A and B are shown apart, each in its own frame.
Chain A
């Protein structure tokens, strides 16, 4: 049994189990940790598929940055402190599982028709010649240079949007409110600071 087969069959059940665990646990932090396990399994699959650059990016960006962001927000909100447990979605839950099973069955048929269950990738990944990172960089900075630049603009916009959305600013006072206050003060006789609305 070749080694990559062994690695696949070790990590595939772990990734599926961690995804199921993420679905079933109640605690948001436990769900996030299950998701980290899942991301690490996917990183191993990238390594098996001859994509060591994506392996590194997966661990650094997903398991590192994004999940830390998730955990940070979960801790910030403290969602599990005293949220009353509501009744679960009684109808949707079995329906969702039925839909999911149907989806997987359909996908399996499509894969059998399109790729075939015994099709193996070519033994040598010739596109990786001279190193995977170098090869990806060559494609990224020549053929996909414009999308790459657009992506950088997207990241900039996302960073600004996050700051704008999460910034706790003083409540904006509209012009109408200022005028209303001015009118009230004009009507009412001034009798000390307590009279201000």
Chain B
């Protein structure tokens, strides 16, 4: 275990940042969703890195739970996107602004 844990944490932060930029700059709902997945994965990486650093399996269990919740979230989110697409023929978030205010 020669790689410092901070490198993993920094990598996780960079991936999280890229996911955030994706959420902020994309307009396609599917691509926004994929960016959210990237953020979730980045956080999982930091959880596993902390688990290794502290010699404790809680971080891995937490990452496991986060994967399960992400799977549930993807299922519901994609179903919502499909439902919106059926009604609007579009997955552009600019076309679904009724819920904004």
Chain B 36-78, CB-CB to A under 8 Å as 1, else 0, gives 0110010011001101110111101101110111111111101
Whether B52 and A73, one on each chain, are in contact in the complex, defined by CB atoms closer than 8 angstroms, is no
Q: How many residues of A contact B (CB 8 A)?
A: 90
A96-B20, A136-B57 known; A12 vs B7 contact (CB < 8 Å): yes
Residue of B nearest to A29 (CB): B30
Whether A12 and B11, one on each chain, are in contact in the complex, defined by CB atoms closer than 8 angstroms, is yes
A42-B44, A79-B28, A79-B91 known; A73 vs B78 contact (CB < 8 Å): yes
Whether B55 and A120, one on each chain, are in contact in the complex, defined by CB atoms closer than 8 angstroms, is no
Contacts of A120 in B (CB 8 A): 1-5
Contacts of A136 in B (CB 8 A): 57, 60-61, 64
Residue of B nearest to A72 (CB): B78
Q: Is the interface of A mostly helix, strand, loop or mixed?
A: helix
B13, B57, B67, B86: which contacts A107 (Cβ < 8 A)? B13
List residues of chain A with CB under 8 Å of any chain B CB. 2, 4-5, 8, 12, 15-16, 19-20, 22-23, 28, 31-32, 35, 38-39, 42, 45-46, 48-51, 53-54, 57-58, 61-62, 65-66, 69-70, 73-74, 76-77, 79, 83, 86, 88-89, 92-93, 95-97, 99-101, 103-104, 107-108, 111-112, 115-123, 125-128, 132, 135-136, 139-140, 144, 147-148, 151, 154-155, 157-159, 161-163, 165-166, 168
Given A5-B3, A89-B25, A154-B69, 9 more contacts at CB 8 Å? A8-B7, A53-B64, A66-B74, A73-B82, A104-B13, A123-B1, A127-B55, A139-B57, A162-B76
